Structure 1
Amino acid sequence: MGAIANDEMITAKDGQQHSWKSVKLLIATLIVSTLGDGFCGVMMAVALPNISETYHVSIATANWVTVGYAIVAATAVMTAATVLARISLKKLFF
């Protein structure tokens, strides 16, 4: 299988045409955001003792708070993506 040229178009399942450059940009964005998510998880794990001390709760309770925050954040992102898929970005801003 040969290399894909930069000017070659890729057809999505819904029939839309996308350039190879935009696909590479999407993959790069996914990789960077995944690394950022891992970094944020490590930051929260390091901060757990300070959080538990500050709010006078056990480390297990502080961990549940950070897990709950991650679940709510993920749900908000998926909900926003669904809304953006149904309503255009321009209409959503106005």
Structure 2
Amino acid sequence: HGMINLKVNGKWLKASPAFNASLCELLRVPPVDFDGENDSFLQQFDGEGNQFMEYTDDYGHFEDVPLEFMKQNIKEHYPHIFDRGDDETEFRL
């Protein structure tokens, strides 16, 4: 999932709107609150203190959704998605 960058009171912050309260409840992770002063983009641990998520790469900031970059990245990291055994050549996000 992606992150967003927003400028609040002259300060750039990272946030992830991907994990709403109901999804956090389903995954048993605490929601990350946005306080307008600190980054809020990672549920590093679940409710029991186990590692839940880790960002291993930060690809920087983009002015618009980088669809071609995303397609190449998905093909590189998840090639099995494309091993369909048919003549499908189109990829939709």
TM-score (norm 2): 0.22
Larger-gyration structure (1/2)? 1
Query: Which structure is higher in RCO with an 8 Å CA cutoff and minimum separation 6?
Result: 2
User: Which protein is richer in helix relative to its size?
Assistant: 1
| Higher strand proportion (structure 1 or 2) | 2
